[in-house]
Amino acid sequence: MRIFLDTGHLDEIEQAVAWGVCDGVTTNPSLHARAVAREGAQGGRALEYRERILRIAELVDGPISAECVSRTEDELVAEATELASWHEQVVVKIPIDAAGLGAIRRVSEQGIAVNTTLIFSLTQALLAARAGAAYVSPFVGRLDDIGHDGVELVEQVVAVLDQYHLPTQVIAASLRGPQHVARCALAGAHIATLPFGVIEQMLKHPLTDKGIEAFLTDWRAAQAQLGAAPVG
């Protein structure tokens, strides 16, 4: 399962790339707004959306989802075409509804990769895949919030796409923690898109911390017995 970073913060992307665990990036209007607010609060220059996408492309060798905000089919097609012209790595995000479905078909026929977002049902995912979407993004955490099992939807979408040999890939989105990530991996999601904080949580386990400290304590004790300088 590939890992995408779900963020607009360049420093988070730089760190994930340095760790070797960033295969792509997903953005949306909310993430861009948060990045703009943080840049302003830090006294720096807030980036325009196009500049942000291009800066991300300098950091990441992989797909970068940039979301459309238009609401009619023709406007979505025009906006998607513009976004895709920014960089060859750009994948356009289009929400699933009637206007979105028509735009997905038309944009995909132009050879532009589409990530269909705000997927909350198997039927929505199937329609997007049949319209030509390169990716569908079921929102796991938001389904959990209303009492559904979001990971079960991921599993269903993966199974149906595989059964009918559809090339669309599943991006498990709205993941809230390591257990979501683990379950989506077991469900067969092609990609998980994660907030940076979730990647940090995936690194941690109390037994790992305890084991490291025990190893260091034993090492220092052995070095002291040998009369060597301790490490750390």
Instruction: Give tens-digit pLDDT for 50-106.
Output: 999 999 999 999 999 999 999 999 999 999 999 999 999 999 999 999 999 999 999
Residue 203 CA to residue 57 CA, distance in Å, equals 25
1-43 tens-digit pLDDT:
999 999 999 999 999 999 999 999 999 999 999 999 999 999 9
pLDDT at residue 230, rounded to an integer: 62
Q: What would the mean pLDDT of 158-184 be, rounded to a whole number?
A: 98
Through-space distance between the first and last CA atoms of the chain, rounded to whole angstroms: 36
Structure tokens at 127: 């329609």
Identify the pLDDT of residue 229: 63
d(CA 129, CA 126): 5
Helices 178-187 and 196-203 sit at what angle, rounded to 10 degrees?
90
**pLDDT at residue 232 is higher than 70:** no
User: Looking at domain 2-204, what is its CATH homologous superfamily?
Assistant: Aldolase class I (3.20.20.70)
Residues with catalytic function: 93
* Mean pLDDT of all residues in 103-132: 98
**CA contacts within 13 A on the Cβ side of 81:** 12
